[in-house]
């Protein structure tokens, strides 16, 4: 089964509008011949400016979070309609920083993913174990629980619009990467969880990224693994040249 890899930047809380314009102006020509799908998930305040610059390019526009309600008394939150109006195509849900610092749970991840799908926005659903979970041999149990939780009530017809990102939390922003074998093995566990839920065809078709200190040096080795279908890139997405070197890994 050949799956088109997707490499997405996660800018986190970085880049003003001015910096967004500078970064994307430099990036667009550098990645125009990419052989994979490319996306940048940017802070809410940068979405409109990024959308203007990315129109007509091969870089897809993404956001970093979404609320599940259509509208209402949710101060500080952003709805699917608001993102849709800005032509957002992808949205990260359940990033470990949201789980750790903002009380995100498997249930809210599921609600956010469903809200995105209901408006035609593709969720990048993040799963991954904490260091102590890895050290106590719970990695598989954690990613299976998170995967099962994220997909509750999601129709099989929607699966083509979902990307999963396996991000071991201890590897995010730390410079530590899972070995390509470990990453591949855990992604196979996640793929098997999708198989248990939706069957082999769906599991084989599901794109599952690796994320966690992925950069120009380790991208080729990680991408050579059979289960790894791209990357969610934090630090190495913040400079055009660095991100280009990840995107053009082959
Ligand atoms: C991330 O934020 O999803 C991430 C993987 O960050 P980094 O690449 O910096 O580890």
Query: What CATH number is given to the structural domain containing 210?
Result: 3.20.20.70
Which of 166, 233, 237, 243 is the pocket-test mutation for ligand 1 (most atoms within 8 Å of CB)?
233
Mean pLDDT of 106-130: 98
Q: What is the DSSP letter of 121?
A: P
Flag whether 198 is in a domain. yes
CA of 120 to the centre of ligand 1 (A): 25
Flag whether 1 is in a domain. no
Flag whether 134 is in a domain. yes
- Exposure letters 102-137 (e unless 16+ CB within 10 A, then b): eebebebbbbbbbbbbebebbbbbbbbbbeebbeee
pLDDT tier, 1 (very low <50, low <70, confident <90, very high otherwise) = low
CA of 17 to the centre of ligand 1 (A): 21
Q: What is the pLDDT of residues 12-68, one digit of tens each?
A: 999 999 999 999 999 999 999 999 999 999 999 999 999 999 999 999 999 999 999
Q: Where are the alpha helices (DSSP H) in the chain?
A: 17-30, 47-54, 80-85, 96-101, 106-118, 131-135, 139-150, 180-198, 200-205, 219-223, 240-247
Flag whether 90 is in a domain. yes
Would the pTM of this model clear 0.95, i.e. be above it? yes
Domain count, the chain: 1
Flag whether 114 is in a domain. yes
CA of 199 to the centre of ligand 1 (A): 30
Nearest to 186 by CA among 202, 156, 164: 164
* Residue 169 burial (10 A CB sphere; 0-12, 13-18, 19+): buried
Flag whether 105 is in a domain. yes
Distances (CA, A) of 30 to 42, 108, 139, 196: 18, 37, 37, 40
Domain that holds residue 237: 6-247
Flag whether 62 is in a domain. yes
Whether residue 177 has pLDDT greater than 70 = yes
pLDDT tier, 110 (very low <50, low <70, confident <90, very high otherwise) = very high
Helix (H, G, I), strand (E, B) or coil at 165: strand
* Residue ranges around ligand 1 (CB below 6 Å): 10, 12, 167, 172-173, 211-214, 232-236
Q: What is the DSSP letter of 227?
A: T
Tokens 């990419």, residue?
Answer: 34
């Amino acid at each position: 089964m050949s799956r088109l890899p997707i490499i997405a930047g996660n800018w986190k809380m970085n880049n003003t509008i001015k910096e967004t314009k500078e970064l994307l102006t430099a990036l667009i020509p550098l990645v125009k011949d990419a052989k994979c799908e490319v996306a940048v998930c940017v802070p809410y305040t940068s979405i409109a400016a990024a959308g203007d610059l990315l129109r007509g390019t091969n870089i897809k526009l993404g956001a970093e979070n979404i609320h599940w309600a259509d509208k209402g008394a949710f101060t500080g939150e952003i709805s699917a309609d608001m993102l849709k109006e800005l032509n957002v195509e992808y949205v990260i849900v359940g990033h470990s920083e949201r789980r750790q610092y903002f009380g995100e749970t498997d249930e809210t991840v599921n609600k956010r993913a469903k809200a995105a799908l209901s408006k035609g926005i593709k969720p990048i659903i993040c799963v991954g174990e904490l260091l102590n979970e890895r050290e106590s041999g719970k990695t598989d149990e954690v990613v299976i629980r998170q995967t099962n939780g994220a997909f509750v009530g999601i129709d099989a017809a929607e699966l083509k619009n979902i990307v999963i990102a396996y991000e071991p939390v201890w590897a995010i922003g730390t410079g530590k990467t899972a070995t390509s074998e470990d990453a591949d093995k855990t992604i196979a566990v996640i793929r098997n969880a999708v198989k248990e839920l939706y069957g082999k065809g769906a599991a084989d078709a599901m794109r599952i990224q690796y994320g966690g200190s992925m950069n120009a040096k380790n991208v080729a080795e990680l991408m050579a693994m059979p289960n790894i279908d791209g990357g969610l890139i934090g630090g190495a997405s913040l400079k055009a040249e660095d991100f280009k070197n990840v995107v053009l890994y082959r």
